[in-house]
Amino acid sequence: MARVVLLGLDGLCPEFLRQWADELPNLMKMQKRGIWGVLESAIPPALPQVWISTQSGRNPGAYGIWDFTYRDDFSYGEKKVVSSEVTRRVDLLYTILPKKMQRVAMINVPATWPSPKIPAGYVISGLITPNLDLSFTYPENLKDEVYELVGKYIIDLTEADVGGKEVDKGRVLQKIYEMDSQRFVLTKYFINEKNCDCVMTAVMGCTRMLSLFYGGFNSQNRQYTPDPHYEGALHDYYLWIDKNIGELYQNVPKETVLFIYSGYSAKELQGRINLDEWLMKEGYMSLFEQPQRPTSFKDVKVDWSRTKCWSTGYTGKLYLNMKGREPQGIVDPKDYDKFLGELTAKLKDIPDKGGKPLNTQVWQPGDICFGPYVSYGPDLLVDFDEGRLGTSELVGHDQERIYSFDTAKDCHDVAYGLCGYFVITGPGIPEGKELKGVSLLNIAPTVLDVLDIPTPRNMERPSILPMVKKEVMPSPEETDKKVASRLKFLGY
């Protein structure tokens, strides 16, 4: 009987894989022996929704998450933080598989705190876990095995690691390697010693490495600071990851299918556009009092009687202040489409700092998502320059009110590209096939297909295995027909 390891390498970038292909023998071997290609991400490519869509095969409208925070009413702001509680809105691999007598292990997967109780399964919760003093495993006594195997478990880098002007790069670099080593040790343990049928692991180092070291990596970046000690740090990390993938590949049971993917590509962040500052400049948002320093949206006093639109978070989300929807709404529903068109045109017209056009994409979630939670989500999503120019909700900048370039502040300041990477190899997987048009939403059905479990009808895309055997992916017309069929089934 087949088994699956689903290894998420957060932020693994296809561009770097191509650049260093000759030095990555294990990933290249997997490509020759399996299926691989660029992977379409979620919009926006936020970490929680990437993993939720990966496991559910559903778009964000089905569960209402577009960032680390969300709303499920029409209040102002996003006051709730993503947790395992909200992910219950959809069926996930870790809820589907145990019902089919499959033993599951989850290692460091985002949005798994509090640790869900998986029948006959295991959880080591990941990002968003407050600290190790709280229960971070299921069963709770699993933490004793974790400590015995890897020592003190590292959830992620902390603000203490990267905060302040003087970062001890050597110490942080060591912690990244130690943290990711733990993931590989535990993955092998749960597939080999605990005999799990499906192990899902998230490895965060690609994103953390880029954030920490891009200032000494690319001489064209405005943050470039030559540092001979670390100029090859990102390159060396990719080689280290490849080595660990090779060891994992050689040390799993022969019936194991290894599925490696990145839900988006981590890139060098060139700066941010302060969306709320821009909305105020354009007359769409007003404050009772202008803050004296950069301040989060939740802490500013907004004059809702004169505010048509607001933004929150760091993933390019805009909300309209709708009459009859928000508590103090002023935008007439009859003007909804017209106003969104006006905003879209103006957003696309924002130039870069030098006055040149940006490659800006704007979406209405209703055009790319469907489900019961779309109405609570943003009214517009925007992506500037393929993510290289991010967005910010802060207001109160003394200078450069629309543009901010002091990006190297914390371990999460990187750009998130709309495409990631995948490779899958093992028993029954066709060899040497590069596929295009593969999405995050194809992953869960493919895992179920490998395990010979029927795909639930509400999953929005099929397994990629029947497609590759035909050596063709479905045409856009075929995909539209399948999505329409799913919509009809779901009652939309």
The pLDDT, as a whole number, for residue 473 is: 45
The pLDDT, as a whole number, for residue 157 is: 80
| pLDDT over 90 (residue 422) | yes
Q: Among residues 301, 314, 459, which one has the least CA distance to residue 378? A: 314
The pLDDT, as a whole number, for residue 352 is: 84
The pLDDT, as a whole number, for residue 490 is: 42
Q: Sketch out the chain's domains with CATH numbers.
A: 3-268+417-477 (3.40.720.10), 271-406 (no CATH)
Instruction: Give the 3-state secondary structure of residue 283.
Output: coil
| Banded model confidence at residue 405, pLDDT cuts 50, 70, 90 | low
Residues 6+ positions from 135 with CB-CB distance below 8 Å: 114, 115, 143
Percent of the chain with pLDDT over 70: 88
Strands of 204-359, DSSP E? 256-262, 265-267, 271-274, 309-311, 317-320
390 vs 62, higher pLDDT:
62
| pLDDT over 60 (residue 474) | no
The pLDDT, as a whole number, for residue 128 is: 81
| Banded model confidence at residue 479, pLDDT cuts 50, 70, 90 | low
403 vs 316, higher pLDDT:
316
| Banded model confidence at residue 218, pLDDT cuts 50, 70, 90 | low
| pLDDT over 90 (residue 102) | yes
For range 306-329, the mean pLDDT: 95
397 vs 243, higher pLDDT:
243
Output the average pLDDT for the chain.
88
The pLDDT, as a whole number, for residue 480 is: 56
| Banded model confidence at residue 388, pLDDT cuts 50, 70, 90 | confident
429 vs 408, higher pLDDT:
429
The pLDDT, as a whole number, for residue 390 is: 87
Give the phi and the psi of residue 444 in degrees, each rounded to 5: -60, -45
The pLDDT, as a whole number, for residue 411 is: 42
| pLDDT over 70 (residue 491) | no
The pLDDT, as a whole number, for residue 492 is: 46
Using an 8 Å Cβ cutoff, are 14 and 420 in contact? yes
87-96 confidence digits (pLDDT tens): 999 999 999 9
| pLDDT over 70 (residue 159) | no
Question: Facing residues of 69 across strands?
Answer: 81
For range 382-387, the mean pLDDT: 90
User: DSSP code of 423?
Assistant: E
> 53-62, 218-227, 443-452: which range is least confident on average?
218-227
Which of 21-56 are b and which e, b meaning 16 or more Cβ less than 10 Å from the residue's Cβ? eeebebbbbbbebbbbbbbbbbbbbbbbbbbbbbbb
> 158-162, 189-193, 330-334, 459-463: which range is least confident on average?
158-162
Percent of the chain with pLDDT over 90: 70
The pLDDT, as a whole number, for residue 408 is: 44
| pLDDT over 70 (residue 206) | yes
Using an 8 Å Cβ cutoff, are 81 and 73 in contact? no
The pLDDT, as a whole number, for residue 489 is: 41
